[in-house]
Amino acid sequence: MAIALTNARVLRGTSLLDGQSVLIRDGRIEAIVPAPGVRGLQKVDLGGGLLLPGFIDTQVNGGGGVLFNDAPTIESIRRIGRAHRRFGTTGFLPTLISTDLEVVAQAIAATRAALAAGVPGVLGIHIEGPFLSVERKGVHDQAKLRELDDSAVGLLTSLGSGRTIVTLAPEVTTPHIIQRLAEAGVIVSAGHTNATYAEVTEALRYGLRGFTHLFNAMSQLTSREPGVVGAALEDPASWCGIIADGEHIAPPVLRLALRCKPHERFMLVTDAMPALGTELRTFELQGRRITVSGSVCYDEDGRLAGSNIDLASCVRNAIELLGLPLHEAVHMASLYPAEFLGLAGELGRIEPGYRANLVLTDENLNVRSTWIDGQREGEDL
């Protein structure tokens, strides 16, 4: 059955348009027409809210009381997706923190099963480690870290459908392995890395496409060694994930970063932990006690350990803390991550032919409802 979403301000490109109806049929946007032209369809009155492209989060460690590492199963993916959907996330990649390769294999198998079963919102998997730098490991378990050699390439390229992101430290592998991953369709991102500027620029030539939580857990920009941060900000083509919670990165630093390369190469991520969407204030991460404090999480030594923020709040912060217009902040949570994932032909816009992944908010970006492939929140949960 086709439906018509009416009485909303619809974000198309850079403009919020009044008087438009979005027609949905078979999970996709069929047309966008003037409201008076809707006849013979079931109408859904959106109460004058903002209708935005659904948000896409490429780094989701957990939510709804579930940490993907603890239970890499299809049911965990489903629960994590439910928790984030309440805050406008209609596409996500469950993210696995450094662990044994046997667990990586389980997580890939669970993601493959979730994709086959049509679990709402899941787009693939993000494997964050264990191919990381000891010097920049953050809260990752040092005992799990290892170099990336040929033996793991088959595993990392085995998902078979959806998207795979692998976060690695370029210095713990070779440019040719990065090239093999990229040629196999893996999206290679640099993170938890102490690489030099020269090492990163070489990796970019061999297929490195992104930077995981820019500024955090990587070598910094200094006067004589630009480091990972310098290489990321200088390169106009690569994407940078940013956690806009006001604490992982000071807002003035993010504002400076946004002047260095095109805005369309930045995307908002949450790096969310299991407390998201719950009342949890502590949880366990690989044997360590993690405490939730506002929108961030800390381990027992006071180190950052992911976040407790949702994407709608990140969009709001991008407007309030970074001074971005609404459309640009929304694009950082929808269109730009879709482009990073190679899905910009079907996600990230409200346009005919696109999947009907949408979020309805009020003027303050409080989420009121979502649609994933045309199914409204509550109809497929």
For the stretch 217-257, pLDDT in tens is 999 999 999 999 999 999 999 999 999 999 999 999 999 99
Q: Give the count of alpha carbons within 13 A of 162, CB side only.
A: 28
User: Percentage of the chain surpassing pLDDT 90?
Assistant: 96
Rg of the chain in Å (alpha carbons): 20
> Do 43 and 80 sit in the same domain of this protein?
no
How far apart (Å, rounded) are the C-alpha atoms in residues 324 and 332? 10
pLDDT of residue 41: 84
How far apart (Å, rounded) are the C-alpha atoms in residues 130 and 118? 28
> Do 39 and 63 sit in the same domain of this protein?
no
Does the residue 345 lie in any domain?
Answer: no
Q: Which of 57, 235, 245, 271 is catalytic?
A: 271
Closest to 303 measured CA to CA, from 226, 229, 192: 192
218: Cα separation from own chain's centroid:
19
- Quote the number of domains for the chain: 2
pLDDT of residue 379: 55
Computed over every residue of the chain, the mean pLDDT equals: 96
What one-character-per-residue DSSP string does 264-331 give? GGEEE---B-TTTTS---EEEETTEEEEEETTEEE-TTS-EEEE---HHHHHHHHHHTT---HHHHHH
For the stretch 263-281, pLDDT in tens is 999 999 999 999 999 999 9
> Do 160 and 243 sit in the same domain of this protein?
yes
Residue 260 is given by DSSP the state: T
CB atoms within 10 A of CB 179: 16
Where does residue 264 fall: left (phi above 0), alpha (psi -120 to 50 degrees), or beta otherwise? alpha
What one-character-per-residue DSSP string does 183-222 give? HTT-EEEE-SB---HHHHHHHHHTTEEEETTTTTTBPPP-
Which whole number is the average pLDDT over 282-297?
95
> Do 45 and 58 sit in the same domain of this protein?
no
How far apart (Å, rounded) are the C-alpha atoms in residues 286 and 233? 33
> Do 212 and 265 sit in the same domain of this protein?
yes
> Do 141 and 18 sit in the same domain of this protein?
no
Does the residue 189 lie in any domain?
Answer: yes
User: Percentage of the chain surpassing pLDDT 70?
Assistant: 99
> Do 24 and 147 sit in the same domain of this protein?
no
> Do 279 and 148 sit in the same domain of this protein?
yes
For 54-162, list the strands marked E by DSSP.
55-60, 62-63, 66-67, 89-97, 124-128
How far apart (Å, rounded) are the C-alpha atoms in residues 162 and 368? 28
How far apart (Å, rounded) are the C-alpha atoms in residues 171 and 128? 15
> Do 8 and 97 sit in the same domain of this protein?
no
How far apart (Å, rounded) are the C-alpha atoms in residues 199 and 136? 15
Strand partners, 292: 297
Does the residue 220 lie in any domain?
Answer: yes
> Do 48 and 59 sit in the same domain of this protein?
no
Does the residue 27 lie in any domain?
Answer: yes
Does the residue 200 lie in any domain?
Answer: yes
For the stretch 182-193, pLDDT in tens is 999 999 999 999
> Do 73 and 48 sit in the same domain of this protein?
no
For the stretch 98-142, pLDDT in tens is 999 999 999 999 999 999 999 999 999 999 999 999 999 999 999
* Beta strands 3-12 and 42-45, pairing class: parallel
Residue carrying structure tokens 């504002």: 255
What CATH number corresponds to the domain at position 239? Answer: 3.20.20.140
271: annotated active-site residue: yes
pLDDT of residue 378: 58
What CATH number corresponds to the domain at position 47? Answer: 2.30.40.10
Residue 145 has pLDDT above 60, yes or no: yes
Using 50, 70 and 90 to split pLDDT, how confident is the model at 380? very low
Does the residue 58 lie in any domain?
Answer: yes
Residue 168 has pLDDT above 90, yes or no: yes
Q: How many residues are listed for the chain in this entry?
A: 381
Does the residue 25 lie in any domain?
Answer: yes
For the stretch 15-74, pLDDT in tens is 999 999 999 999 999 999 998 777 778 999 999 999 999 999 999 999 999 999 999 999
Does the residue 102 lie in any domain?
Answer: yes
> Do 207 and 300 sit in the same domain of this protein?
yes
Higher-pLDDT residue of 38, 95: 95
Q: Which domain range does residue 10 map to?
A: 3-52+350-376
